[in-house]
C-alpha cells in the first residue's frame, strides 16, 4: 500500500538554527499539506499545495517558515531560525486532488521536532 514518506522522523536542534523537513506524497497525489501538531492538540494547517502552487499559506509564519514543492512532487518545509515554541510534530499529508470535498487525506508518520 502506498504511503506518504517523511524524513527525518526526529530532529533535535538549538534555537536560532535552521531546520528542514522533507515529504514525499503518495504517487500521483496532486494536493500536499503540511500541518503542525502541538502536543495534546489537533493538527493545524500550515500550507497547502496544489501541484507546485501554494493554495493556502494563511497560517504559515512567513517570517521564519518557508515551503516549496518545486516539481509538484516532493516538498520541503524549512524553519529559520528555529524558536523554542516550534517544538511540535510536523505532519505531511496528501490527497489525489480530484474529488473535492469528499476527498480523504493520507498522512505520513510525521517529524518530531525538539528545539533546545
Partner 1 sequence: GNSVTQMEGPVTLSEEAFLTINCTYTATGYPSLFWYVQYPGEGLQLLLKATKADDKGSNKGFEATYRKETTSFHLEKGSVQVSDSAVYFCALRSGGMTGNQFYFGTGTSLTVIP
In total, the chain counts a number of residues equal to 116
**CA distance readout (Å), 114 to 13, 62, 88:** 6, 20, 7
Q: Does 75 bind partner 1 (CB under 8 A)?
A: no
* Given 7, 13, 50, 87, the residue binding partner 1 (CB under 8 A): 50
Q: Which stretch binds partner 1 (CB under 8 A): 11-19, 40-48, 70-78, 79-87?
A: 40-48
Q: Given the complex with partner 1, which of 54 and 116 has the nearer CB atom? A: 54
Q: 73 and 26 in contact (C-beta within 8 Å)?
A: no
Cα gap 4→94, rounded to integer Å: 7
82 — phi, psi (to 5°)? -75, 145
Q: Does 112 bind partner 1 (CB under 8 A)?
A: yes
Q: Given the complex with partner 1, which of 15 and 62 has the nearer CB atom? A: 62
- Contacts with partner 1 by CB under 8 A lie at 4, 6, 33, 40-45, 48, 50, 55-56, 58, 91, 93, 100-110, 112
Amino acid at each position: 500500500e502506498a504511503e506518504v514518506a517523511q524524513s527525518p522522523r526526529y530532529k533535535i536542534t538549538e534555537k536560532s538554527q535552521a531546520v528542514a523537513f522533507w515529504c514525499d506524497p503518495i504517487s500521483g497525489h496532486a494536493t500536499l499539506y503540511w500541518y503542525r501538531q502541538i502536543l495534546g492538540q489537533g493538527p493545524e494547517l500550515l500550507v497547502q499545495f496544489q501541484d507546485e502552487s501554494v493554495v493556502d499559506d494563511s497560517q504559515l509564519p512567513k517570517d521564519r517558515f518557508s515551503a516549496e514543492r518545486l516539481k509538484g512532487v516532493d516538498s520541503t518545509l524549512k524553519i529559520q531560525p528555529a524558536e523554542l515554541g516550534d517544538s511540535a510534530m510536523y505532519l505531511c499529508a496528501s490527497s489525489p486532488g480530484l474529488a473535492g470535498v469528499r476527498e480523504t487525506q493520507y498522512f505520513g508518520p510525521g517529524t518530531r521536532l525538539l528545539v533546545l
